[in-house]
Amino acid sequence: MAQLCLVGYTYRGYAMRYALERAKAWGYDGIELRNFGDIDLTGPAGVAAALARAKEMAEAFSLAIYSLFYAPLPVSRAHERADEERAFAQVLGVLAEYQVPILHTHLSLRGPDGGEVTAAAAREEDYVAVRRTLERILPVAEAHRVRIAIETHMGTIHDTAASQLAIVSAHDSDYLTASLDFANMLIARREEVLTEAIRAFGSRIGYVHIKNLKLLPGGYDWNLPVRWGDINYYLLLKALKEAGYRGPLAVEYCGTGDPDVFAADDAAYLRELMRRLEW
């Protein structure tokens, strides 16, 4: 059966111990480490200190640490963000030390106005800058055997499935993968056919984020459990299984209210889907 991973963002602002206790209580197999209320993941030293605590705590609850979120992976045009890039490389080493297999991240590429370049505005020179940055950082990931998983995310150059696929396909490395966030895909491009996106990425899928939403005329509502909303997760899990995905299913609730309600219901629903799919 596929593993269920509780994304720490579900419990943003809470103490790490509480989040891990809830993950164990609701039947998750592990967590994605995020900035809880009592840890700081903003630099290599903070990541190391947080992982030292998290590893001990996770072992006490018999939970895995499947991934850690650290962003951004800075994209330079002329090495202007070299210090940030060095910090990112150091974080890869920290994850290797603590045997965390996935570094979950976003790219950050600034345009002439200082704002983030998105897929809609990206030019070929922007993708060239991304490729060159990844050519420098991927040997570090490969040496440490830590996979970089770039997430579909609003406000980035990889905010659509097409741009995300173009970026990860430009490099022949097992240590650069796509993290598919299906709700984020629909926020950026409502007409995206999610099952087709899964088939297009195929073996390049290294991680997935699972949450649901209801698309509205003026925006979206993601104060919903996974079983509700516009995304049919039975079909998506079926497509992921057929694509050969064997990584964790990382469940992320981004709405308001009591996260316990959603984390518990999402785990129960996804376990039922996995039983139906014999996965």
Q: Give the pLDDT score at 255.
A: 97
> For 15-54, how does the pLDDT look when each residue is reduced to its tens digit (9 = 90+)?
999 999 999 999 999 999 999 999 999 999 999 999 999 9
* Other beta carbons less than 10 A from residue 253's beta carbon: 27
DSSP secondary structure code for residue 116 in this structure = B
Q: Give the pLDDT score at 185.
A: 98
CA distances in angstroms from 22 to 16, 76, 163, 217, 223, listed in the order given: 10, 40, 36, 35, 19
Q: Give the pLDDT score at 71.
A: 98
Q: Low-confidence residues of the chain, pLDDT below 50?
A: none
Q: Give the pLDDT score at 209.
A: 99
Could you tell me which of 198, 185, 212 has the C-alpha nearest to residue 270? 212
Residue 84 exposed, middle or buried by CB count within 10 Å (0-12, 13-18, 19+): middle
- Residue 207 pairs with which residues in a beta bridge? 179
| CATH architecture label of 4-277 | Alpha-Beta Barrel (3.20)
